[in-house]
Amino acid sequence: MADISTPPIMIVLGTRPEIIKMSPVIRACEALSTPYRVIHTGQHYSYAMDRIFFEELELPAPTHNLDVGSALHAVQTGAIMAGVEKVLLDEGSLTAVLVQGDTNTVLGGALAAAKLHKPVGHVEAGLRSFDRTMPEEVNRIVADHISDLLFAPTSRARGYLLREGIEEEKIRVTGNTIVDAVQQNLAIADRRGNALETLGISPKDFFLVTAHRAENVDDPDRLTGILEGLSAVGAEHGREVIFPMHPRTRERLKSFSLEPEGVRIIEPLGFLEFLQLEAKAALVLTDSGGVQEETCILGVPCVTLRENTERPETIDAGSNILAGTDPERIAGAVREQLSRRRIWTNPFGDGHAGERIVRISLERFGRK
């Protein structure tokens, strides 16, 4: 428990995946009676659009809302830096500034805090895809090298940080907050309803799909390959293919004149509904890093529609396989994953990462 004079921890987030992965840290602050504040940068959505998301996850509203909105990388990152800097100056003394993951919010928040000499803690530090054409890779590398505490989710991530010359004393292996989030938020989801009943589907009788990365959905050849692969695996295995599709991806289908066959396209789902479907799917096909982790934790086979991953632990565990966007490779990967036994061990921790992160932050930066 924090001392009454402990300055608050500032939690910076800006996208829905960050809200999900920081929810255990927020809950840990409350459980440990640790003062905290939350900055919502609005990188993907304004707080007005995310309000329902906070309510669904039973989280308090953010303390500060920047509403930076979408923009080119430099413009967006600059707006985040300026907004976070102003909040940090107004707030005064802080125990630490915590950022999570690899978005422009992470980069802008970490840079603003570091330049004001505020202690920076990077949650989910040390992930590497080794592909610097991905903006996320640049963001995570820079954030790691300017942070004062690096909360590595696994020993592999710790090893990457050490190889890059980061001091060992800055690194703590805490597990990944996604384990906490899946456990905590699935319990909330099950209290609130049954997404499978709503969609009229049965457990293990369907494949679930997500595809959102620009390199996939903005490329007509890659998007065509994904859709042909989805049609093929649905027909081969006699399972319905459920694809909650973002409006932007729908626009790409229209502009590329693509008409998916054998794929049930539905409206985007809320996180709690999606989590329920994810837990009951026969297999998930995705280009999302977070979904690769979630399926591993839930014991659900995953096929990743990319050529690389910053979650190699899922490959090692056997829960995940890389397939790219070639239809034949996708079909073969699904075949292989369905033939495997679901006996892997979750490599991402025990579900107490959020508490560890708060306790370590207080021990390292809190007033003595």
pTM: 0.90
Classify domain 9-176+350-365 by CATH number: 3.40.50.2000
Predicted confidence band at 367 (pLDDT cuts at 50, 70, 90)? Answer: low
pLDDT of residue 2: 61
CB atoms within 10 A of CB 344: 16
The yes-or-no verdict on residue 66 having pLDDT over 50 is yes
Mean pLDDT of 162-190: 96
Contacts for 74 with CB less than 8 Å, ≥ 6 apart: none
Q: Which residue in 348, 152, 44, 35 sits closest to 26, CA to CA?
A: 35
Predicted confidence band at 270 (pLDDT cuts at 50, 70, 90)? Answer: confident
Predicted confidence band at 274 (pLDDT cuts at 50, 70, 90)? Answer: very high
Say if CB 147 and CB 169 are below 8 A apart: no
Average pLDDT, the chain: 95
Predicted confidence band at 32 (pLDDT cuts at 50, 70, 90)? Answer: very high
pLDDT of residue 79: 98
DSSP 7-51: PPEEEEE-SHHHHHHHHHHHHHHHHTT--EEEEE--SSS-HHHHH
CATH 3.40.50.2000 fits 194-339, yes or no: yes
Distance CA 103, CA 108 (A): 9
The yes-or-no verdict on residue 1 having pLDDT over 60 is no
The yes-or-no verdict on residue 173 having pLDDT over 70 is yes
Mean pLDDT of 191-217: 94
Mean pLDDT of 153-181: 97
Predicted confidence band at 4 (pLDDT cuts at 50, 70, 90)? Answer: low
**DSSP symbol at 311:** -
User: Is it true that 9-176+350-365 and 194-339 share their CATH fold?
Assistant: yes
Q: Which of 145, 212, 237, 352 is catalytic?
A: 212
The question of whether 212 is a catalytic residue gets the answer yes
Say if CB 157 and CB 140 are below 8 A apart: no
CB atoms within 10 A of CB 211: 22
pLDDT of residue 45: 81
DSSP lists the bridge partners of residue 261 as none
Say if CB 129 and CB 137 are below 8 A apart: yes
Say if CB 142 and CB 103 are below 8 A apart: no
Q: How do residues 84-143 score in pLDDT, each as one tens digit?
A: 999 999 999 999 999 999 999 999 999 999 999 999 999 999 999 999 988 999 999 999
CB atoms within 10 A of CB 187: 10
The yes-or-no verdict on residue 311 having pLDDT over 50 is yes
The yes-or-no verdict on residue 287 having pLDDT over 90 is yes
pLDDT of residue 368: 45
- Domain ranges, ordered by start, for the chain: 9-176+350-365, 194-339
In angstroms, the Cα distances linking 284 to 238, 299, 322, 359 are 15, 11, 12, 35
